[in-house]
Structure 1
Amino acid sequence: MLAVDDDYLIRLLLADVLTNASCRVLTASDGAEAVEILEKEPVDLLITDYDMPRMNGLELIRWSKARFPHVTAVMITGQNCQALAAEGRQFGALRVLLKPFSVEHLLSLVGEIRGTAPIP
């Protein structure tokens, strides 16, 4: 799993919570760094922020789906915008998660994607 966010605290939260849930978590601070990791490491799930420098989350999802169609993508954003959520899904995001989100919601979503939790 790859967690991408330019906010260090969000990256740390994602890594800690998901590692404690027995996930192998890689992190990147922006889309460009994520591309470098995706080209070298096998990843099954991409959780990415939308608003980041160098390459935003939509661009990263579009790139990753073109290169690695098997990777499931989730976009997180602080912007409560229906158009952005629709665009995220159009580019290949399975879900768009609005910040702030609870740890329980994150774990439920990851469990759903991995087939270990029911769909809410």
Structure 2
Amino acid sequence: MQVEADVYDRNCPSRQVLDRIGDAWSVLIVGSLKNGPLRYTELAQRIPGVSPKMLTQTLRGLERDGLVTRTVHPVVPPRVDYELTTLGRSLLGLVDALKQWAETHIGDVVEARGAYDARATSQSSAVGA
């Protein structure tokens, strides 16, 4: 299906997709599924800090968008696996690039934050004086 897309148009569905794949939890889930299917608990362990509600919500969104499949195995207790689809796997290059950029430039970001915070503190002190 061919859809004309413009992510800068707030009503365009492509904007929703960009929001989905740009979300931190989505990026971490896609990256975690890089090497194959994982169970819900395995994903939760790989992504410290994600709440059960956010993990479930994000997985459902990724499944709805066709990026992840959810497979329920008929065993007791039930076993559910999550896996990237072909469409989801097409994001791996972008996710890996974002990961690499973040890890490479975290020192620069921390330095910039420190400089910004120092300026903001000195400016607020000058205003209050």
Q: TM-score, normalised by structure 1?
A: 0.25
Q: TM-score, normalised by structure 2?
A: 0.23
Query: Which is helix-richer, 1 or 2?
Result: 2
Query: Which is strand-richer, 1 or 2?
Result: 1
